[in-house]
Amino acid sequence: MRATHTDLPAPTGGMLLAKRPTGIIMAFVVLLLANIAMSVPKLTEVIIAAVNAVRSGEPFSAMDYVGFDRESGVLAVFSFALATGFVWFWMAVKERRRFATIGFTSPREGLRLAGRGWLIGAAMMAICVLVPVITGQAQMAWASPDASGWGFIAIMLIGFIVQGSTEEILTRGYLTQAVARRWGLVAAVIAQAVFFALMHGMNPGMGPLPVINLVLFAIFGSFMSLSEGGLWGICAMHGAWNWAQGNLFGVAVSGQQVSDSFFTFSANPGSADLLTGGAFGIEGSLVCTLVYAVGIAIFWSAWKKRRATETAQPANATASSHAADANATAAPAAEGAVSPTA
């Protein structure tokens, strides 16, 4: 019988609460089906456009549907909810456990962590964008969005929260829990990082440094969720990161350009792709690499402190229990003792 790891920190031990746990291979199947589910609306849009192009004799290219123009962008980000819905359904029907066990317990505390996570994501992206601007590698200008553009930007704020949260649920949540249960925490962090990079493998502008940064982001996400004991913070951080990148600063989101933004970001002639990210966007830059590395170090340290505190608490409780037992044993003896002054 295969061993099961039971000493797992929150939220990685969620699969242990399932009445019928999902194995590692089946977990990958679940994620594949979830990705197929969220691809259906976009695929349907492309097929309809192709059929209409054939009927009218107009040229058609599927690449015209890569990116985040207004209609396609809204459809793309909100379609991620279908993947979350599929995982939710699987957990309820097959595993028979609550969806909250994937990393959404303690909603009151979770809202606070989500707010902090949103600020962290926006701040990290601001650093990544402003460094090449300050060093003369890129320039940023006000995009002057019209009224409809402001509306699209607001909708995409919600949409990117849905999209970012879904990616966290699939990787730092579900896959991590399934792998950790059998192979332990280290294997789970590695597995979800590789899977996360593969999820973005077909994005425009992909190259060695973007792949490295995707892996680093996944590791960063793992340590952030471990340090907080849940997915609230990293879900909000991921959504804010993507929204600030695309709709605030006008940078390509993992190689895909968003149609409307508050600012525009463009590399200066002769600039280094290593500092601006090139076609993949700022996520393909060394600046982003450094920001991820610092983030990993901070949240790894925070998780170690949390882990040490949680480990010490049972020990303190045991010591208190032993002291209470000793006092209880001593009390009868004291009651039966004869006072020297009696």
Q: Say which amino acid occupies 237.
A: M
What local confidence, expressed as pLDDT, does residue 133 receive? Answer: 97
Domain ranges within the chain, ordered by starting residue = 14-314
| Residue-wise DSSP of 219-266 | HHHHHHHHHHTSSHHHHHHHHHHHHIIIIIS---BTTB-BS--SEEEE
Question: CA distances (Å), 263 to each of 143, 154, 245, in order?
Answer: 5, 14, 10
What local confidence, expressed as pLDDT, does residue 274 receive? Answer: 94
Average pLDDT of every residue of the chain: 89
pLDDT tops 50 at residue 19: yes
Interhelix angle for 185-199 vs 176-183, to 10°? 150
pTM summary value: 0.88
pLDDT tops 70 at residue 31: yes
Q: Could you give the percent of the chain with pLDDT greater than 90?
A: 73
| Distance between CA atoms of residues 137 and 128, nearest Å | 12
pLDDT 10s digits, 134-143: 999 999 999 9
pLDDT 10s digits, 190-217: 999 999 999 998 888 899 999 999 999 9
pLDDT 10s digits, 287-321: 999 999 999 999 999 999 999 988 777 655 444 44
DSSP 8-state symbol, 204: T
Q: Are 222 and 189 in contact (CB under 8 A)?
A: yes
What local confidence, expressed as pLDDT, does residue 340 receive? Answer: 35
Mean pLDDT score, 108-130: 97
Mean pLDDT score, 38-64: 80
